[in-house]
Structure 1
Amino acid sequence: MTNILSYLTLINVINVHFYFVHGFRKSELDSSYNGLSYPFQYFTRDEWEADPPTNVRPLTKPVPYVVIHHTYIPSACNTTEKCFRAMRSMQNYHNSLGWGDIGYNYCVGSMGDVFEGRGWNNVGVHAGRANNFSIGICLIGDWRVATPPEPMLETTKKLISVGVENGSISPVYKLVGHKQTMTTECPGSALANIISTWDHYTKEILKF
């Protein structure tokens, strides 16, 4: 019994050491949240220090559409802290527009990490009338000319797959760029060209 307690104490000491010395957060040690497992680094609203939302409406699921965005501003982020700042910057800006929270359901950084926005269960503010029928995923950065990093693209595909698996996104969903829902350059020409080769992409212009 003494040996078992000593072993457990040692494990706890090691975990504490890694947390404080190496700066790992919960999501870097265990890529799961709310009972869902993620095949990528996942950061919650609490971790990027989001303000509480003031506009929350339940999303009817599964949604038939996934809408892809880019930020344009803020620019691409390639460290966790830079992405945290980008998330807070977006939330502050979107709140100033009266949206009551960051507009996107999820955002993806250049390293392939996912940052929780409104999540799977809440209606976003990102694509006009398509909001009620879609999950909005934003790839942080300006992707008009530059090509998004491969980890970012692969994680975006995996995130969509998770949404299908957990019942948030229809298995027969249609994938579109933001500019197919309203007049905008988003998600940028380079990114739009890439997603046009992905499964489920449609050239359809969404009108509701």
Structure 2
Amino acid sequence: MSAHSALLTWALLAFLGLGLGVPGEDLPHPCCLVVPRREWNAPASKCAEKLKLPVRYVVVSHTAGSPCDSPASCLKQVQNVHNYHAGTLNWCDVGYNFLIGEDGLVYEGRGWDTKGDHTGMTWNPISIGISFMGNYMERSPPPRALRAAQSLLACGVAQGKLSPRYEVKGHRDVQQTLSPGDQLYEIIRTWPHYHE
């Protein structure tokens, strides 16, 4: 089965709630539908610095690039982001801990345990970076993408990766940037854990 077919099958099973991964494999917490790195063909990470868990802050950004609305297009988009971060910027891996696709799936970047490169020297060691794939200056992510992000955060708390009192910040709250875009920023400001 090709990687593309495997991802589509995985996405369909996840959507239908029929399971994740391969029988007998250690799975992530059952509430969390995260496409693991191996499913989007991520190279081995060269990152070593760990986060101190549970993390108190979550920084939400957007990639400001092309959106994706299917598992196939999101697979390509997360690979593009990785190639830019690791290849062009020479980072140890994709900068974000997780990426959210308009297909309603969460794509594992550095994951819960590894420090990201998403918000600068002050915030990277104390936060999880979640980036929505696309540009949200003039349009909002679809509801399924927003639900995926909120589910991820709930799972982070359930797994002990996020503090139950975690705070959500917009990228622009902690750095001089337009990210996460005007439309997405207005949405996350309504989330119960948002703090400016």
Q: TM-score, normalised by structure 2?
A: 0.86
1:138 corresponds to 2:131: yes
Aligned to 1:63: 55
Q: Counterparts of 2:8 and 2:149 in 1: how far apart (Å)?
A: 25
1:24 corresponds to 2:15: no
Select the residue among 26, 46, 52 that pairs with 1:54: 46
Q: Does 26-35 or 167-176 show the bigger shift?
A: 26-35
Aligned to 1:195: 188
Q: Counterparts of 1:201 and 1:21 in 2: how far apart (Å)?
A: 36
Displacement after TM superposition at 1:132 (Å): 0.5
Aligned to 2:81: 90
Displacement after TM superposition at 1:192 (Å): 0.4
Structure 2: gaps (5+ residues): none
Alignment of 1:152-191 (within 5 A): 152-191=145-184
Asked if the contact 1:107–1:139 (Cα under 8 Å) also holds between the matched residues in 2, the reply is yes
Q: Counterparts of 1:164 and 1:100 in 2: how far apart (Å)?
A: 26
C-alpha change, 1:119 and 1:21, in structure 2 (3 Å) is closer
C-alpha change, 1:107 and 1:38, in structure 2 (3 Å) is farther
Q: Does 125-134 or 54-63 show the bigger shift?
A: 54-63
Displacement after TM superposition at 1:71 (Å): 0.8
C-alpha change, 1:54 and 1:119, in structure 2 (3 Å) is same
Residue identity matched to 1:58: K
Displacement after TM superposition at 1:38 (Å): 4.0
Displacement after TM superposition at 1:55 (Å): 2.3
Structure 1: gaps (5+ residues): 1-15, 204-208
SS in 1 for 2:131: strand
Aligned to 1:9: none
Q: RMSD value over aligned CA atoms? A: 2.2
Q: Does 162-171 or 28-37 show the bigger shift?
A: 28-37
Please tell me whether Structure 1 or Structure 2 has the larger radius of gyration of its CA atoms.
Answer: 1
Aligned to 1:206: none
